[in-house]
Structure 1
Amino acid sequence: MVTTNGAGTAAVPAQPSYASGTSDVPLLGETIGADLDRTVARFPDRDALVEYATGRRWTYREFVADVDALALGLLDAGLGKGDRIGIWAPNRAEWTLIQYASAKIGAILVNINPSYRVHELEFVLNQSGIRMLVSAQRFKTSDYVAMVEQVRPQCPALEQVVFLDDPAWESLLRQDGDRQRLIGVQAELSADEAINIQYTSGTTGFPKGATLSHHNILNNGFFVGELCGYTEVDRVAIVPPFYHCFGMVMGNLACTSHGSAMVIPSEGFDPAAALSAVAAERCTSLYGVPTMFIAELGLPDFDGYDLSSLRTGIMAGSPCPAEVMKQVIDRMGMSEVAICYGMTETSPVSTQTRADDSLERRVSTVGRVGPHLEVKIVDPSTGLTVPVGEPGELCTRGYSVMLGYWQQPDKTAEVVDTARWMHTGDLAEMDSSGYVSITGRIKDMIIRGGENLYPREIEEFLYTHPDILDAQVIGVPDARYGEELMAWVRLREGAEELTAEALREFCSDRLAHHKIPRYVHVVDEFPMTVTGKVRKVEMREQAKKLLGLDAG
């Protein structure tokens, strides 16, 4: 059907919400190990890895020596291409060593969430068929040794367990074998082979193992680093956990593909340690999810940290509040800070803001599509691309899309279509310049009395309240409207208790009536994943109990 304008001539078709990332820089066509060797040859004496808490540090020459020794140790232990090696530990230097050593022999590294309990650990060990588990002995209140011993009889594929700081680990790391043997092994590897399994945090049932190749994660780390302007002089404070793409890809691989230094501030997130590491190591870049930056900015002695070395950084993992972004730029001096959007299944980054983007672009969008990638926004019901400015589901395609969920082709087919588009489940809009704004999850969208409400819009408004430090909006069951709005808020220190009536009064005349939360719940902390994402599913379940809505 051809539409016409008033004069009877064919109208110009609406611009579709589609963008592809052009680049003069080609994709990397090599393995992670080969890329590391290339970097070592260029920058052998520059810092590669710094563990701030212990003072341990490696130049690139020293780092690859330990990586190669560990790789030979893994080969001597009977591991090789395609075998699964699990890593269950917080952020420490050994995590990084095993990441690169496993890549050098073509083994598949299986990242295990440090917060997993026994039943989750058992599931991952069995579902991925892990032959060797490398584990910390404990982290926070978790006794990993006891937990491993508890599940080991139920995990027939698990042949070897090596605990960090044990003689077995030292033996594995101190192999002085034939480097030519390792070179021969590396020569037999393909960049398109699986190298990593990362389990997505499922909200129902058990998580799924996103399977990623050298090509997936090496290129994603490289191009994230390119857009951050990384060179061998950069030093990146990697605060997010390594078990997640934010830490091991956007952090480690972005650094090693550019000769930059990986700086580990602490095993788990500690806002004071993060800023201390930046100051002591003169970091040029700082990573974190918004809640991490909020905690750092909220330190009573924040002004006592010398952050003058910071140039850039990345905020990602969940929507970045505009007010927080402005403070990161103004108070931390991160003038080139980037917003990244992505998901584990896409290695992870699909869109990113650039250093020359305006403040408005960086606080209101997640940037433009990355190099060599495509994004489009489709109508979830029809699958057709919507015109610019209209909401829909964000889809992405290109080198970054996972090989699939480990041994779950049916689950893979639910999210990756026959044209290899990854359906993210996120609601988004694209403007005429290709900038993407994330408006929420399809499953988080609230339908109140037939009106589609997007929590992000309301949350951004709540941040303007002088007493609110952080805010999350969810939908709860309602007999009249189907769903009602509930705001969970964290208050600034010293603020008086905030009632629903007081918040509604604040919103009155500033926010449309149907967007004003009916319920308010003040909390000290939100339910969170280890990666800093708010668990709205858990919040909704708690809310139903708090409000006596279980029957709804």
Structure 2
Amino acid sequence: MEQRRNRVDIGRAPSGRSREGGLGEPVSSSLVRGWQPRPEAPTDRMSIHWPIIRTLLRRPTRTLIVDDRRAWRGIELLVGALHLAAEIERRSESPHIGVLLPTSGAFPMAALGAWIAGRVVVPLNYLLARDELQYVIDDCGTDLILTAGPMLEHLGYQPRVRTMLPLEEVGFAGVPEVRWPALARADDLGVLLYTSGTSGKPKGVELTHGNIRANIDQCRRWSGFNDGDVVLGVLPQFHCFGLTVLTLLPLTVGARVVFTARFVPQKIVRLFQEHRPTVFVGIPSMFNALLSVKAAGPADFASLRFAVSGGEPLPDAVAGAFRERLGVTINEGYGLTETSPVTNWCMPRDHAAHSVGPPLPGVLERIVDPSTGAAMGVNEEGEVRIKGPNVMRGYYRLPDLTAQVFDDEGWFRTGDIGRLDERGRLSITGRLKEMIIVGGENVFPREIEEVLNAHPSVAASGVIGVRDEVRGELPWAWVELKEGASFDEASLRSWCRERLAGYKVPREIRVVAHLPRNPTGKIVRRALHALVNEDSP
């Protein structure tokens, strides 16, 4: 295959002309004139793709996406999606279409093609272990995966599926057949998004068109997000935050999004300088890594309206350093794959340390005693339970597990421990399954980790409960050290004694070069159990 053809889908406009030459007038005019948006019907309002299609038609020449290889105008995304919809109908009989692509404009083009063809999108996590990725492919039952040659080269192998279709092999040249996109009801499945499997095999989370559309609207209403915003997207699009907040939300409102497939701190700062984003969402380790760029200064981040951290608690040291050195206050957000994902978002106007803010419009939250279901009072800790139009339909082919995660009143059991303050702002304090019971007292790993992370020598930490014959369980900790720091267990234990109740001080503190993490950077505490019987370094 010649080199020019190889760059069609990711590096070249799917109109058949190069991005330098622009989209040919016959393609854009025939689509825009021949397929004008009709008056919105109730079905359209609850589908994921119809509002995006309207945006692409209304802004055909506007650059909506910039990625590592090229810029994408509205009409180019739509033309490419129509070509892919035809390929999907020709090659696939499955209702589920796998998408195995790097963070880029090609991902939403592929997803839009699947929805136009009336299929369900299955984002595939290319960071999973080989057997885990194959499990997801087999479990969802897809017979077609949309991918790219460089993606398969990155994997180093080709997963088993009936048809693996690199986008380089799709004929994007010419005018695609103008077709009426499939309609979708609110309760129709739109995305089958697999969890990363930190507590076992990956589970398919069934997110309907109504779930994701509701969350897009909730985020837009809460933040005032509009077509003047510029988003810098660094989270992978197989991650629910990367999909909903950093991809579908901008496309729905017509905002520009700048994607990069790899998080390289120096490059991220350059993208800030070049594109002046107003929105940046990352995990705490990303914000910490940006602090390592010595040349970065407040002027580089002055365009930000929202700097949002999620996925795990934001360490005070990172928040403080970002504010003092770069002039940016990081606000925390909260959500789960099962909630499409955003449920809480702390706004700059109502910033509170360690709070993820109040629930978004339409989201209901309560704090309950996990053993009795009784409601807890203000600032009392308990399990966070959620209701709302963004809450998943269930787990794919797992009816028993689905039944277990909803209580008798239909509230989703998050498994997170938290509290609501007098203003309705939520703080997450731990995970129910990770709670350690020391002599009858409840201890949450997060509280101990926050203390350890504040020590000058500690970059990150993980805490678990280890069985003890006398006290039931005792906390054990593992730490990653900052560059150039030395490990001093006695000093760390003394640090903890000064800041924690005696029963919360770790019985053992060990050092590791790297804590076990999942593909999105979260520390996998259950993997620490395998280290218990290893000799201390």
- Pairwise TM-score range, normalised by the shorter structure: 0.7 to 0.9
Q: Residue 217 of structure 1: which of 185, 208, 212 is its match?
A: 212
Query: Residue in 1 aligned with 2:513?
Result: 524
From 155, 159, 163, the counterpart of 1:160: 163
Residues in 1 aligned to 2:481 and 2:295: alpha-carbon distance in whole angstroms = 19
Who is 2:462 aligned against?
A: 472
1:543 matched to 2:537: no
In 2, Cα distance between the equivalents of 1:93 and 1:29? 24
Higher deviation after alignment, 414-423 or 220-229? 220-229
Partner of residue 353, structure 1:
346
SS in 2 for 1:545: coil
1:21 maps to none
> Where does residue 228 of structure 2 map in the other structure?
233
Q: In structure 1, which of residues 50, 58, 66 is the aligned counterpart of residue 72 of structure 2? A: 58
Aligned residues: 496
How far apart are 1:162 and its partner, in Å? 0.5
CA distance in 2, matches of 1:78, 1:204: 32
Letter in 1 for 2:191: N
Equivalences for residues 5-20 of structure 1 within 5 A = none
CA contact (8 A) 2:199 2:526 kept: no
Are residues 1:98 and 2:110 paired?
yes
Is residue 2:422 matched to residue 1:423?
no
1:467 Cα deviation (Å)?
2.4
How has the CA–CA distance of structure 1 residues 269 and 110 changed in structure 2, closer, same or farther, with 3 Å as cutoff? same
Q: CA contact under 8 A between 1:46 and 1:232: conserved in structure 2? A: no
The residue that corresponds to 1:147 in the other structure is 158
How do residues 100-499 of structure 1 correspond to structure 2 at under 5 angstroms? 100-137=112-149, 139=151, 142-144=154-156, 146-148=157-159, 152=160, 158-165=161-168, 167=169, 170-171=170-171, 173-174=172-173, 176-179=175-178, 181=179, 183=180, 185-186=181-182, 188-265=183-260, 267-303=261-297, 306-335=300-329, 337-358=330-351, 361=352, 363-495=353-485, 497-499=486-488
Cα drift, residue 132 of structure 1: 0.8
CA shift, 1:139, in A, is 4.8
Q: Which residue of 2 aligns with 1:36?
A: 52
TM-superposition CA deviations, 1:23-72 (whole Å, max 9, x none)? xxx99933122111232344444321101x32x00122332232233223
Which of 495, 500, 511 matches 2:500? Answer: 511
Work out the CA distance in 2 between the residues paired with 1:305 and 1:471: 32
Aligned alpha-carbon RMSD (Å)? 2.6
Distance 1:230 1:61 in 2: 22
Q: Which sections of structure 2, spanning at least 5 residues, go unmatched?
A: 1-41
Task: After superposing the two structures, state which structure 1 stretch, 481-490 or 340-349, moved more.
Answer: 481-490
Cα displacement (A) at 1:101? 1.9
Matched, 1:84 2:84: no
Structure 1 moving runs of 4+ over 6 Å: none
Query: Residue 298 and residue 411 in structure 1: after superposition, are their counterparts in 2 closer, same or farther (change >3 A)?
Result: same
SS of the residue 1:242 aligns to: coil
Change over 3 Å in CA distance of 1:514–1:355 after alignment to 2: same
Distance in structure 2 (CA, Å) of the matches to 1:93 and 1:473: 39
2:493–2:509 contact (8 Å) kept in structure 1: no
Deviations 1:94-147 (A, max 9, x none): 222112221222211112111233322332222111021123445598545x33
Partners in 2 of 1:276 and 1:46 — Cα distance?
23
Q: 1:356 aligns to what SS in structure 2?
A: helix
Aligned amino acid, residue 163 of structure 1 = P
3-state DSSP of counterpart to 1:368: coil
> TM-score, normalising length from structure 2?
0.86
Q: How many angstroms does 1:315 deviate by?
A: 0.8
CA separation of 1:202 and 1:117: change in aligned 2, threshold 3 A: closer
Tell whether the 8 Å contact from 2:230 to 2:277 is kept in structure 1 after alignment.
yes
Task: State the SS of the aligned residue for 2:270.
Answer: helix
Please tell me the residue identity of whatever aligns with 1:536: R
From the superposition, tell whether residues 255 and 329 of structure 1 become closer, same or farther in structure 2 (CA, over 3 Å): farther
Contact between 2:144 and 2:163, CA under 8 Å: does it hold in 1?
A: yes
Q: Would you say the 8 A contact 2:92–2:143 is kept in 1?
A: no
Structure with the larger RCO, 1 or 2 (CA within 8 Å, 6+ apart): 1
CA distance in 1, matches of 2:229, 2:193: 27
The verdict on how the C-alpha distance between 1:504 and 1:204 changes in structure 2, with shifts beyond 3 A counting, is closer
Partner deviation per Cα, 1:442-480 (whole Å, 9 max, x = no partner): 111111222211222222223332222323322223333
Matches of 1:192 and 1:407, distance apart in 2? 16
User: Is 2:48–2:190's contact at 8 Å kept on the other side of the alignment?
Assistant: no
User: Structure 1: any 5+ residue segments left out of the alignment?
Assistant: 1-25, 153-157
Q: CA 1:109–1:27 in 2, change beyond 3 Å: closer, same or farther?
A: closer
Residue type at the aligned position of 1:292: M
Measured after TM superposition, the shift of residue 233 of structure 1 is: 1.7
SS in 2 for 1:328: helix
Cα distance in 1 for partners of 2:291, 2:43 equals 37
In the alignment, is the contact (CA less than 8 A) between 1:278 and 1:286 conserved in 2?
Answer: no
Q: Which moved more, 1:98-107 or 1:321-330?
A: 321-330
- Output the TM-score relative to the length of structure 1: 0.83
- Do the aligned residues in 2 keep the contact of 1:202 with 1:208 (CA within 8 Å)? yes
Distance 1:143 1:435, change over 3 A: closer
The answer to whether the Cα contact below 8 Å between 1:87 and 1:111 also exists between their aligned partners in 2 is: yes
Residue 303 (structure 1) shift: 4.1
**462-471 or 423-432, which deviates more:** 462-471
